[in-house]
Structure 1
Amino acid sequence: MTGQTTAQPAASTAPVDILIAGGGYVGLATAVAVKAASPHLRVLVVDSAPPGNWKKDPRASAIAAAASRMLDRLGCWQPILPDAQPINDMIVTDSRTSDPVRPVFLTFDGEVSPGEPFAHMVENRTLNAALHAKAGELGVEIIEGIGVDRFDTHAGSVTVHLSDGLTLEARLLVAADGMRSKLRERAGIKTVQWDYGQSGIVCTVHHERPHNGRAEEHFLPAGPFATLPLKGNRSSLVWTERTRDAERIVGLDDFRFEAELEQRFGHKLGTIKVEGPRRAFPLGLMLVREYVKPRFALVGDAAHGIHPIAGQGLNMGFRDAAALAEIIVGTDRLGLDIGSLAALERYQSWRRFDTVQMGVTTDLLNRLFSNDITPVRAIRDIGLGLVDRMPGMKRFFIRQAAGLSGNTPRLLQGEAI
């Protein structure tokens, strides 16, 4: 069943090399990265979501420059590019909702190198379609509509029990099953987490005038309000509110919802109109104590959940995918066991510091900016103004946002594994 996407069990129940639980972007990116470099490995993706459910995702994501380099190296970026909106520049403001004027404290040019924006906005359906197509082309097997119920680890393999009763043997099980990962819990991996008492309202709006590729982040007392440009006169919004207020706002009728939105969005782009559904997601911090167990590894939201204030959640998942793929491929080329704890601990040590650092950074930023304490506002605004006058510091932040700092996996540098 090579290259086929199906809601039925794989035709062959022979042992697989890697079984990935979760067919979202990170799970598929991991599968594609491994299979592209080591086509002899049998890679199976099992996704509990209904077949084709990914085609209905109305959201959009910020794809950092490092992630787009990886997608390009894997042959996924060219199909995405016509629908990707480059972020040409970004401004940061700090104000109250009632303020008639929002002074700009910080501006960023959008390029990490000539002609290379630090990020693009891509609709999730487009991203998923490209990853699915490449997975099929490479021979990654995909089963949709069936999940992993449990697994048993042995010395040389892991036995994976699927929800339809099928049992498979694998050398390595990768959990890419999201923030509420059942496999993480079954593996006995503990987490450090807390709730922010905030929710992120996500929706898409159409506006009368063009955005010219500008992203804006308004720091308001309840949390950041981010406006991210999409193709055409459209923008994706990530609107943070206290959870009780977010639930009330999402429950409003269209007229009153757009009135609340207009108070924060403003009139700079003319008349606005909400397109498609609006949803609210609870926000919190979640970091795992361990990334791996014998023959078991976590990637993406199963390994970490951070505040969207820096727009790095998905890009951290792609860093996981690139790092794990590099470890797996390198281990396999040496003729060693890809599921051994010795190999997987190299992946854990590579990703742990970066994840904790980003989690702590976003936590501090959220605490600093999601309040209306006058002395704190004065200090943070002075800080933003100072950064705006320091080109070297701004370049550093742009590289951070682009995912090009630190010990970056080869794929994220645009290099083959």
Structure 2
Amino acid sequence: MSTQHFDLVIVGGGMVGASLAIALAGRGLRMALIEAYQPDAESQPSYDDRAIALAYGTRRIFEALDVWPRLAEATTPIRDIHVSDRGHFGFTRLAAGEEGVPALGYVVTARNLGRVLLERLPQIDGLDIIAPASLLSFENDEDIVRLDVERDGVVTTMSTRLLVGADGINSTIREQLDLPVSRWAYGQSAIVTNITPSRPHRNVAYERFTDTGPVALLPMSEDRCAVVWTVRDEQVDEVLALDDAAFLAAFQQRFGYRLGNFLRTGRRAAYPLQLLRARESVRGRVAVI
């Protein structure tokens, strides 16, 4: 069997990998996107129910990629940002109108963002979507990268002029290259959920600094708010074990009553906070993004 050859192979079909493939559409490149999960927003773990705040600059990028018109209907604009410090008077307020932009940012769930990106991928000429599949190994030669890919128990050899690793924090490509990294564990985790307050959020995002870490509320549809509550690692199990009423009361005590009483909450999940930065992102014909 002859070896398949590509100009570019992207490993990882999450937000970064999918966006890169879309950005390179129409350039006459033969590309492959290798993804470990089925190419739909329901099965891809990158596209879960977490709320993401997209900057206005990101909107401009997605507009250039012709993604924004489809994505806009699933977003909630942030018109103002309110920043305060628990236990201290005063606050800082940023307003979109004063900055001359329609919004400071936009809130969207990762699932909705993934749905829009994944709908766009099959429309790209010259892009092969290889999924579910996994990269077994690769050889980073001077002129080409050779790689072995497993799909449905069958191993296929292919080659590419450029291999891009967009496979997340636990990147197998970065590990196989043995790229040096800087790591920092903050000893904190983010509890994420959504809540419904008694007062409308009026498209205001809130950040409040507390003794255990910052708390953020982001405006969502139906006057819900996405919550990011930073707690110390040793507090995570205790907070996740709270029932809805106890969780709302505890979070109310952290945030205050600027949005009135918190009435309802959704499912909670915790994500450890850590910094990982590759000190080298390109080696030969392989790049990690």
Common fold by TM > 0.5: yes
- The within-5 A match list for 1:305-316 is none
User: Which letter maps to 1:298?
Assistant: V
Paired residue for 2:157, among 154, 161, 167?
Answer: 167
Shift of 1:285: 1.7
Distance 1:216 1:252, change over 3 A: same
Aligned partners of 2:234, 2:105: CA distance in 1, in Å? 32
Distance 1:13 1:104, change over 3 A: farther
Paired residue for 1:204, among 185, 194, 197?
Answer: 194
Aligned partners of 2:248, 2:3: CA distance in 1, in Å? 52
Paired residue for 1:67, among 39, 52, 58?
Answer: 58
- The within-5 A match list for 1:179-190 is 179-190=169-180
- The within-5 A match list for 1:334-413 is none
Do 2:252 and 2:261's aligned partners in 1 also have CA atoms closer than 8 Å? Answer: no
Aligned to 2:32: 44
Distance 1:270 1:257, change over 3 A: closer
- Which structure shows the higher strand fraction? 2
Aligned to 1:28: 18
User: Which letter maps to 2:186?
Assistant: Y
Do 2:204 and 2:218's aligned partners in 1 also have CA atoms closer than 8 Å? Answer: yes
Paired residue for 1:148, among 135, 140, 151?
Answer: 135
SS at 1:20 equivalent: strand
Do 1:60 and 1:236's aligned partners in 2 also have CA atoms closer than 8 Å? Answer: yes
- CA RMSD in angstroms, aligned pairs only: 2.0
Aligned partners of 1:209, 1:78: CA distance in 2, in Å? 30
Aligned partners of 2:211, 2:117: CA distance in 1, in Å? 38
1:216-238 superposed Cα distances (whole Å, 9 cap, x missing partner): 10000010001111122111111
Shift of 1:144: 2.6
Do 2:195 and 2:262's aligned partners in 1 also have CA atoms closer than 8 Å? Answer: no
Do 1:197 and 1:243's aligned partners in 2 also have CA atoms closer than 8 Å? Answer: yes
1:196-223 superposed Cα distances (whole Å, 9 cap, x missing partner): 1001111122233210000110000010
Aligned to 1:92: 83
Q: Does 1:58 align with 2:49?
A: yes
SS at 1:35 equivalent: coil
1:220-268 superposed Cα distances (whole Å, 9 cap, x missing partner): 0010001111122111111111011023211323332222222223332
Aligned to 2:92: 106
Distance 1:43 1:111, change over 3 A: farther
Could you tell me the TM-score, scaled by structure 2's length?
Answer: 0.90
User: Which letter maps to 2:150?
Assistant: S
Aligned partners of 1:110, 1:104: CA distance in 2, in Å? 20
- Which structure shows the higher helix fraction? 1
Distance 1:292 1:254, change over 3 A: same
- Paired residues, number: 280
Distance 1:261 1:143, change over 3 A: farther
SS at 1:263 equivalent: helix
Distance 1:207 1:254, change over 3 A: same
Aligned to 1:120: 106
Aligned to 2:283: 293
Aligned partners of 1:119, 1:57: CA distance in 2, in Å? 20
Do 2:80 and 2:104's aligned partners in 1 also have CA atoms closer than 8 Å? Answer: no
Q: Does 1:81 align with 2:82?
A: no
Aligned to 2:209: 219
Give the stretch that moved more between structures: 167-176 or 111-120.
111-120
SS at 1:70 equivalent: helix
SS at 1:166 equivalent: strand
